Amino acid sequence: MDRKVILITGGSSGLGNAFCWRSALEGHTVVGTSRDPRFQPAAWELIPLDVMDQGSVDRAVERVIARHGRIDVLVNNAGIGIQGAAEDVDPSMAMRAFDTNFFGLHRMCRAVLPHMRDQGSGLIINIGSIIGNYGMPFRGFYSATKAAVDRYSEALRMEVRPFGIHVVVVEPGGYRTNIARSRLRPARRGGAYAAGYARSMRALDRDQAYCQDPDECAALVHRIIRSDGPGPTYRPGQFMARLSVLLKKVVPERLFEHFLSMRYGWGAAAGPERTAPAVPERRPRAEEALQPYHDLSHGRSGA
Ligand SMILES: NC(=O)c1ccc[n+]([C@@H]2O[C@H](COP(=O)([O-])OP(=O)(O)OC[C@H]3O[C@@H](n4cnc5c(N)ncnc54)[C@H](OP(=O)(O)O)[C@@H]3O)[C@@H](O)[C@H]2O)c1
């Protein structure tokens, strides 16, 4: 096996930590990162990096090049969660999530790509999320950051392929890490969404109880690193999480959203406590009621 130089952002915890350990045990030269590298693992190196800071990104990449001469694989893993009703999330908090999960990943790609082009080879693995495939109630901004990773990676893959560089997206679903603890949360909570938000977060915590071992995801990442022709997208994780992506494609959009709302405690039956409705419910006109289901939907667009 040829020994590769692998740079993994966010090596201090969770999936990134599992990627670092497995890569080192497989015999590669591994550099992980942390905003606050307090420990030095025996089998790999942990260096400082904040993906929100361009200077920090440049310093980290130059340090790896100076020490090892090349970067064969970049795993863009660093990320944070964000939760809250969309209306409650302040734009500055949403921007912080995008700055880490999306622009941070872009900063890393820009810093590493010139070296990979010079080498004539390279592999970039961008860690998205299963819920980048659809919006989840009270986690819309997280879904949005990861959907952005998907679209960006598709375009980048085509642009850099002629230089011998592969771009892969891994979209995990449900691994036991510290991400729930460090999620950004709006300070202003309560009001209109309080009951549904609380139910939805309880459902999410219940899911966490079934979370899987991060090393299982690390094993997949290693199959990708070993592969000569990796695929574009991989979805490791819980069966239901993977199934949801298929359902999103085949089930009518309104039905899919109904299932998701019910699953996360925000369905019609579980919505906000109602007193008398402010306006009477509008009954469909007779001609509307006769139209087929999809004609009444608000469009199943891919946008
Ligand atoms: N766990 C899951 O089931 C799951 C599912 C889908 C996607 N993901 C994705 O997997 C990735 C890893 O998450 P995780 O679950 O392993 O969470 P985690 O245990 O909280 O680890 C997050 C890592 O990201 C690093 N990080 C956060 N902000 C950073 C910044 N500004 N600059 C550099 N590093 C930063 C952290 O390092 P420091 O704090 O030491 O800097 C830490 O090592 C994330 O992209 C996440 O969105 C996870």
What mean pLDDT comes out for the span 198-207?
82
Judge whether residue 291 has pLDDT over 50: no
Give residue limits of the domains in the chain: 5-191+212-250
More confident residue, 64 or 280: 64
* Nearest alpha carbon, ligand 1 atom 28: 79
Q: Compute the Cα dihedral for 270, 271, 277, 283 and give only its sign.
A: negative
- Rounded to whole angstroms, the Cα distance separating 160 from 20 reads 25
Does residue 122's CB lie within 6 angstroms of at least one atom of ligand 1? no
Ligand 1 center–CA 14 separation, angstroms = 7
Does residue 261's CB lie within 6 angstroms of at least one atom of ligand 1? no
Average pLDDT across the chain, whole number? 87
- Rounded to whole angstroms, the Cα distance separating 275 from 273 reads 7
Predicted pLDDT of residue 190: 61
- Joined tokens for residue 176: 């036991």
Judge whether residue 166 has pLDDT over 90: yes
Where residue 301 falls among pLDDT bands split at 50, 70, 90? very low
Complete edge-to-edge strand list for the sheet that includes strand 29-34: 45-48, 29-34, 5-8, 73-76, 122-127, 165-170, 233-234
Predicted pLDDT of residue 289: 31
Does residue 102's CB lie within 6 angstroms of at least one atom of ligand 1? no
* CATH fold of the domain at 5-191+212-250: Rossmann fold (3.40.50)
Task: Assess contact for 157 and 163: CB atoms under 8 A.
Answer: no
Judge whether residue 8 has pLDDT over 50: yes
Does residue 145's CB lie within 6 angstroms of at least one atom of ligand 1? no
> Is 142 in the active site?
yes
How many whole angstroms from its chain centre is CA 68?
A: 29
Choose one of 15, 30, 215, 238 to mutate for the ligand 1 pocket test, by most ligand atoms within 8 angstroms of C-beta.
Answer: 15
The residue annotated as part of the active site, out of 134, 142, 197, 234, is: 142
Predicted pLDDT of residue 189: 63
Query: What percent of the chain stands above pLDDT 70?
Result: 86
* Nearest alpha carbon, ligand 1 atom 40: 34
Where residue 235 falls among pLDDT bands split at 50, 70, 90? very high
Predicted pLDDT of residue 197: 86
Q: Out of 11-15, 24-28, 153-157, 241-245, which region has the weakest mean confidence (pLDDT)?
A: 241-245
Predicted pLDDT of residue 299: 29
